[in-house]
Amino acid sequence: MISSVKYLTSSVSCSAFTSRKLSGPRPEFYTIPSIQNVQQSMGLSPSFQRPLYMSSTENFSMLTKPTKRVLECKAYEADSSRPLEINIELPDEQAQFEAAKKLKIGLYFATWWALNVVFNIYNKKVLNAFPYPWLTSTLSLATGSLMMLMSWATRIADAPKTDLEFWKTLFPVAVAHTIGHVAATVSMSKVAVSFTHIIKSGEPAFSVLVSRFFLGQTFPLPVYLSLVPIIGGCGLSALTELNFNMTGFMGAMISNLAFVFRNIFSKKGMKGKSVSGMNYYACLSMLSLLILTPFAIAVEGPKMWAAGWQNAVSQIGPQFVWWVAAQSVFYHLYNQVSYMSLDQISPLTFSVGNTMKRISVIVSSIIIFHTPIQPINALGAAIAVLGTFLYSQAKQ
């Protein structure tokens, strides 16, 4: 009987808790009375030891610790300012940059080739009337140096920051540049412009041979194979040249060798230097002028220059002075643009551009000066230029 009363009381107590419902927004929690108090209030014996069993604990969920409610704070003003879904096709900035870069390189190449053609035309006209290549070379360097000094003085161009170490590393480059410049001018004073540039297209062969035997540098097999058409084409053109001259031929060959050493000294000595492009060539011209002037005076001299100048002016007229000025100015400009181009493009692209420059000079000089040329001579020139192009491809 005690047992049945106990179970009844327990069920009533549990139903009292489960039947209550929350009336407010926040739940109120009740504590369960202890078994001991229930037993005392019902007059039950405290010696009763059987546990109280419950069929379900779902209704006691509110007795556990309530979980924290997460409040979501939404910035309604920010959500309302959504971007307008309008299909506007903006131009690709990367494509624009690449197009502008290609246009810039194209302008550099076109300017480089045009200036070089004009220089060679006026240089040949001056040398035909005034066959003094040492003075002509000196005037070219002097004009370029004066132009750059005026540019620095008027702030048109920023003057380079140089030190004694810079000029020391530049000196061997200037020596090679001076020799190459004078040798090429001597060659053009003796033979046709086209023939000089055909021989000068063989410069890659000298570059490979010098690098191989003096620097110990090796090249892949395609590079060596590309030298075959270069050497063969130059040799075929030289053998079939109608106006062949040994001094002109040797001048072009010495120019090739000197410019190869100039490039080697330039690469070894100018690493890490901040002077480049236009200012680098300006410094090179000034130092070459200092080196060349005493040799030009010793080889030719002022008396020969005065007599030759008077003879040229009497035959050509006052326009001869403009020819000298033009060849000097355009010599500096085309070299300056070539160095500026080298700052913007890869060596491979520069080599290809240099090859195309040779073609433009050869063709234009043949047309302007009516240079007689045989078909086999033209074939030799084409083979040499093609070999130069193949060399530039295989080198890279």
- Is residue 21 domain-resident? no
What pLDDT is attached to residue 243? 81
What pLDDT is attached to residue 70? 52
- Is residue 68 domain-resident? no
Task: Return the amino acid letter for 146.
Answer: L
Residue 111: left (phi > 0), alpha (psi -120 to 50), or beta?
alpha
Angle between helices 93-129 and 164-190 (to 10 degrees): 60
- Is residue 76 domain-resident? no
Domain count, the chain: 1
Task: Return the amino acid letter for 158.
Answer: D
What pLDDT is attached to residue 345? 67
* Buried b / exposed e along 333-363 (16+ C-beta atoms within 10 A): bbbbbbbbbbeebeeebbbbbbbbbbbbbbe
Task: Tell me the C-alpha distance between 24 and 269, whole Å.
Answer: 90
What pLDDT is attached to residue 11? 43
Task: Tell me the C-alpha distance between 361 and 118, whole Å.
Answer: 9
pTM above 0.75, yes or no: no
Query: What are the structure tokens assigned to 380, written together?
Result: 């030799």
Tell me which residue of 190, 236, 226, 206 sits closest to 381, measured CA to CA: 236
- Is residue 382 domain-resident? yes
Burial (CB < 10 A; 0-12, 13-18, 19+), residue 161, is exposed
- Is residue 209 domain-resident? yes
Residues in CB range of 236: below 8 A, 6 or more apart: 376, 377, 379, 380, 383, 384
- Is residue 313 domain-resident? yes
What pLDDT is attached to residue 78? 47
What pLDDT is attached to residue 251? 95
- Is residue 25 domain-resident? no
Q: What are phi and psi of 92, to 5 degrees?
A: -70, 120
Task: Tell me the C-alpha distance between 122 and 317, whole Å.
Answer: 15
SS3 171: helix
Burial (CB < 10 A; 0-12, 13-18, 19+), residue 100, is exposed
Give the domain range for residue 261: 111-395
Q: What are phi and psi of 148, to 5 degrees?
A: -70, -35
Task: Tell me the C-alpha distance between 197 and 203, whole Å.
Answer: 10
> Which three-class secondary structure string do you get for 312-369?
HHHHHCCHHHHHHHHHHHHHHHHHHHHHHHHHHCCHHHHHHHHHHHHHHHHHHHHHHH
- Is residue 300 domain-resident? yes
Task: Tell me the C-alpha distance between 137 and 186, whole Å.
Answer: 9
Q: Do the beta carbons of residue 238 and residue 249 sit within 8 Å?
A: yes
What pLDDT is attached to residue 47? 47
Query: What are the structure tokens assigned to 299, written together?
Result: 């080889």
pLDDT tens for the 396 residues of the chain, in order: 444 444 444 444 444 444 444 444 554 544 444 444 444 444 444 444 555 445 455 454 444 455 555 555 555 454 444 554 555 544 577 777 777 777 877 787 788 888 999 999 999 999 999 999 999 999 999 999 999 999 999 988 888 888 888 899 899 999 999 999 999 999 999 999 999 998 988 888 888 888 888 778 888 888 889 889 988 988 888 888 878 899 999 999 999 999 888 877 876 655 556 676 788 889 999 999 999 999 999 999 999 999 999 999 999 998 999 999 999 999 999 888 887 776 666 655 666 677 778 888 888 888 888 888 888 888 988 898 888 888 878 876
